[in-house]
Amino acid sequence: MEISAREKSILMGLAREAIHLTLSGSSPDTPPAGLITHRLRERSGAFVSIYKNRALRGSMGLVLPLAPLWRAVRDSAVYAAFRDPRFSPITADEMDAVTLEIAVLTPHRHAVTPPGVGTGAHGIVYRKDFRQAALLPRHEGDQRDAESTPVYKTGKTGLDTREWDGADVLETFSAEVFRGG
């Protein structure tokens, strides 16, 4: 799953450009064919998180590999900036102060670990009925721990913590995570 420095730069540029274009009322176009490598054309899950002054300002993504990586990142950037229900939409005035973080997900594996355990090196997908919550793998600066996991899931999905007992599906995944200005 190794993503080259050039590919990371391309993804970061696509994410930032998509946010800028959306702010101006335009829609992002398909990038030039020569810009998109074979790896960026592969289907992959991805998340884009937006931070302002080190505080989360938006985070959305595709848990499943439903789109080419370049498109998953571009669309997730727009969703994180404008559609995360926990935050107001990003404004043009904020753009110079935000940092983007991109997480490229590996394929999921079924897990038997109960919810709230193992939040660290692996991300977790909880599914209950038609709702799901994804916790990205812990990385430098992440303060999440096993005790905060139910609170995090509740905030992401609106479900009461008790509703997550006996989740229908529990899967784990890894991610390659990188940040850019």
Residue 91 in domain? yes
Q: Determine what percent of the chain is predicted with pLDDT higher than 90.
A: 50
Do 93 and 123 sit in the same domain of this protein? Answer: no
12 CB-near residues (< 8 Å, 6+ apart): 100, 102, 178, 180
168: CATH: 3.30.1490
Give whole-number Cα distances, 9 to 34, 44, 75, 148, 178, in Å. Answer: 14, 17, 16, 33, 10
Do 87 and 132 sit in the same domain of this protein? Answer: no
Residue 180 in domain? no
pTM of structure: 0.78
Helix, coil or strand: residue 78: helix
Mean per-residue pLDDT, 111-137: 66
Looking at 105, 130, 157, which one is the last position of a domain? 105
Residue 181 in domain? no
15: CATH: 3.30.700.20
pLDDT tens, position by position, 129-163: 777 777 777 654 444 444 444 444 445 555 555 65
Do 101 and 15 sit in the same domain of this protein? Answer: yes
Do 134 and 100 sit in the same domain of this protein? Answer: no
Domain that holds residue 160: 109-174
Rounded CA gap, 76 and 22, in Å?
A: 12
What is the number of structural domains in the chain?
2
In the predicted structure, residue 78 carries a pLDDT above the cut 70: yes
Rounded CA gap, 48 and 11, in Å?
A: 10
